[in-house]
Chain A
Amino acid sequence: MTARLIIGALFMVGLWALVAKRNLVKKVFGLTILNSAAVLLFIVEAGGSGDGAPIMGGGQRIVDPIPQALMLTAIVIGVCVTALALGMAYRLYKATGSMDIEEIRKRLGNG
């Protein structure tokens, strides 16, 4: 329960950055924090199902390896999303000369 609440708080921090911050780079940070919160939630939840890492031969009851395999995918996709988002932010900066989302909207002429 405590772990879930802390992860929830982390998720909210990411959401806050995504919604309230006007700087595009900080928005991308928020996206990354959201992704990390989701990854942590899966790992922590599955961690309750055993004692040892999911590697055979340790003699312990292993945790469920499926969430770990899924999160491996999620981390890679998260890196891809971050790289693309930063690329887009850079492109917007080059086009408008600003990282501020309101300023960009104004300068692109539909503000």
Chain B
Amino acid sequence: MKARTPSAQVLTAVLCIAAASFALWPLATLDEAWPEGIRDYLESRGQDESGARNLVSAIYLGYRGYDTLGETIVLLVAVSGAIGMIGAAGSKLAPGYADAAQGQVPVAKPTRRVHRRTELIDVVTGKLGPVVLVFGLYVMLFGHVSPGGGFQGGVVVASGIVFLGMGSKGAGLSPLVGAGTLARIEAAGFLALLLAAGLGIVSGAGFFAPPLRGVSPVGYIVALNAVIGLKVGAGIGFLCIAMLGETER
């Protein structure tokens, strides 16, 4: 196959865009009313059935627990895949992260580092990290009554972890930023999610159902949100910190 010239490439792209516009045009002119049956059902029964006032939480933790389980597995696989691919390419991961990629990766040495950032970023991110972590925990734990939930809170927690990692100047790493800690939190989170999902089977309520009958299921939603948030936060934080190892030095 011979290399395409730039003009041929632009022509291909224009044709692609034109074809996509033609295919998507009916979507823009569609004049159907939004179906409201399910919305009305959720509005009248969703809170009682799932315990969550936030109906989005009610759906992804109450009605569609399987989806959430699959989603966390996809996230786990993506994080391991990305770490594996970057590590196997001979990249320098942050200290401690080489174990995660089969221990054959040259680890960046914590000594002899060139500062590419100003002191300002180090100081500000280091101080801001704990605040962001607390906000992430809030978003995570109050996901059933306000906008938020496990995934959103988890991502905020992950950015807090990245802040701590950036602010700790390599040598004095916060223990939370260590590879072992994050990997353990992620594994424990996944195990806890599976256990929480399986509890319903033991009590006869079914997979991903609140195990205690007669009690408001809101506690179950909060527990699931917390577990998912910890897992997502540790996973994405792990990925970001591992990638930081190369750019930092």
Interface residues in chain A, defined as those with a beta carbon under 8 Å from any beta carbon in chain B = 1, 4-5, 8, 11-12, 15-16, 19-20, 22, 41, 45-46, 48-50, 53-57, 62-66, 68-69, 72-73, 75-77, 79-81, 83-84, 86-88, 90-91, 94-95, 102, 105-106, 110-111
Interface stretch of the complex, out of B15-23, B164-172, B174-182, B204-212: B15-23
Q: How far is the CB of B214 from chain A (nearest CB, A)?
A: 22
> Does the CB pair A77–B74 fall under 8 Å?
yes
Q: Which of B15-59 contact A (CB under 8 A)?
A: 16-17, 20-21, 24, 27-29, 34, 36, 38-39, 42-43, 46-47, 53-56, 58-59
Kindly list chain B residues whose C-beta atoms are within 8 Å of the C-beta of A4: 27-28
Of B84-92, B113-121, B127-135, the segment with at least 4 beta carbons within 8 Å of chain A is B84-92
Central interface residue in A11, A12, A80, by most chain B CB within 10 Å: A80
Instruction: Determine if B99 is an interface residue (Cβ-Cβ < 8 Å).
Output: no
Is residue B188 contacting chain A, with contact meaning CB distance below 8 A?
no
**Number of contacting residues on B, CB 8 A?**
56
In the assembled complex, the Cα of A81 lies from the Cα of B79 at a distance in Å of: 10
Sorted nearest first, the 6 A-B pairs with minimum C-beta distance are A80-B78, A20-B13, A87-B85, A69-B59, A65-B55, A94-B89
A8 to B17: give the CA distance in the assembly, Å. Answer: 11
A interface: dominant SS: helix
Contact between A54 and B56 (Cβ–Cβ < 8 Å)?
yes
Task: Return the chain B residue nearest A21 by Cβ.
Answer: B13
B124 at the interface (CB under 8 A from A): no
Other-chain contact of B17, A1, A15, A69, A102 (Cβ < 8 Å): A15
Report chain A residues within 8 Å CB of B82: 83-84, 86-87
Inter-subunit contact B145/A55 (CB<8 Å): yes
A72 to chain B, nearest CB (A): 6
**A17 (CB) vs chain B CBs: closest residue:** B13
- For the complex formed, measure the closest distance between the CB of B24 and the CB atoms of chain A, giving whole angstroms: 6
Interface residues of B (CB under 8 A from A): 1-4, 9-10, 12-13, 16-17, 20-21, 24, 27-29, 34, 36, 38-39, 42-43, 46-47, 53-56, 58-60, 64, 67, 71, 74-75, 77-79, 81-82, 85-86, 88-91, 145-147, 149, 151-152, 232, 236, 239
- Complex alpha-carbon distance, A66 and B78, angstroms: 25
Contact status B55-A12, CB under 8 Å = no
Enumerate chain A residues within 8 angstroms of B36, measured Cβ to Cβ: 49, 64
In the docked arrangement, what's the CA distance between A18 and B27, Å?
A: 21
22 A-B pairs within 8 Å (CB atoms) are namely A8-B24, A12-B21, A49-B39, A50-B39, A55-B55, A55-B146, A56-B46, A62-B43, A65-B39, A68-B56, A69-B56, A72-B152, A73-B67, A73-B71, A75-B151, A76-B71, A80-B75, A87-B82, A88-B85, A91-B86, A91-B89, A94-B91
Q: What residues on B are CB-neighbors of A79 within 8 Å? A: 75, 78, 236
Judging by beta carbons under 8 Å apart, are A69 and B60 in contact?
yes
